[in-house]
Amino acid sequence: MLKKFLPDQHVKSIFEITPESLKEKGVKAIITDLDNTLVEWDRPNATPNLIKWFEEMKKHNIIVTIVSNNNEGRVKAFSDPLNIPFIFQARKPLARAFKKAMKQMGTSKDETVVIGDQLLTDVLGGNRSGLHTILVVPVASTDGFVTKFNRLVERRILNWFRKKGMIVWED
């Protein structure tokens, strides 16, 4: 059961994920979380570096959809200026939003990756949906109330993985 929380990959930042590395794996689409994955949970807009990252993905024909548990206002205000499709109130880790995103992008499980900062929502949901999961270090060190609780649980799970030798990266 705990293996469902184990990401396929771990990176320090979204910027370590390149279109070239994704294309090598046959990836054509990204389902990404928003808050603390792309930007801080309280930052309303994309940073210039993030805008360049999105442009690079688009230039290499990699489709991006933002899938967030946050409300429509938050996700729409972030996504619309970038012309990036989104799904709000996704109820991750349930699989419905992941399947909906793949249907909208016209991609299969083998062509799609999930990027997120939380084991309990992004990684678990992506793994349960049969997708390649990439865990990123959270952009901000602060979180909303529910996420603070999730982080406590995540630390315990990560420590268990470390003790079992299943992960080798550092926090």
Residue 64 pLDDT greater than 90, yes or no: yes
Total count of residues recorded for the chain: 171
Q: The domain that contains 114 carries what CATH number?
A: 3.40.50.1000
Q: Is residue 157 part of a domain?
A: yes
Q: Is residue 40 part of a domain?
A: yes
Identify the band that residue 170 occupies on the pLDDT scale cut at 50, 70 and 90: low
Sign of the alpha-carbon torsion through 137, 140, 142, 147: negative
Amino acid at 48: P
Q: Is residue 35 part of a domain?
A: yes
Residue 145 pLDDT greater than 70, yes or no: no
77 closest CA partner among 86, 69, 90? 86
Q: Is residue 18 part of a domain?
A: yes
pTM for this model (two decimals): 0.90
Helix, strand, or coil (residue 132): strand
63 closest CA partner among 37, 87, 38, 84? 84
Q: What is the mean pLDDT of residues 68-96?
A: 97
Identify the band that residue 146 occupies on the pLDDT scale cut at 50, 70 and 90: low
Q: Using the 8-state DSSP alphabet, how is residue 62 labeled?
A: -
Q: Is residue 48 part of a domain?
A: yes
Q: Is residue 24 part of a domain?
A: yes
> How many independent structural domains does the chain possess?
1
Identify the band that residue 82 occupies on the pLDDT scale cut at 50, 70 and 90: very high
Identify the band that residue 103 occupies on the pLDDT scale cut at 50, 70 and 90: very high
Q: Is residue 138 part of a domain?
A: yes
Looking at every residue in the chain, the average pLDDT score rounds to: 92
Domain encompassing residue 129: 2-163
Contact 77, 33 (CB under 8 A): no
Q: Is residue 170 part of a domain?
A: no
List, in order, residues 6 or more apart from 165 with CB less than 8 Å away: none
Q: What is the mean pLDDT of residues 107-121?
A: 96
Q: What is the mean pLDDT of residues 88-100?
A: 97
- pLDDT of 144 reads 63
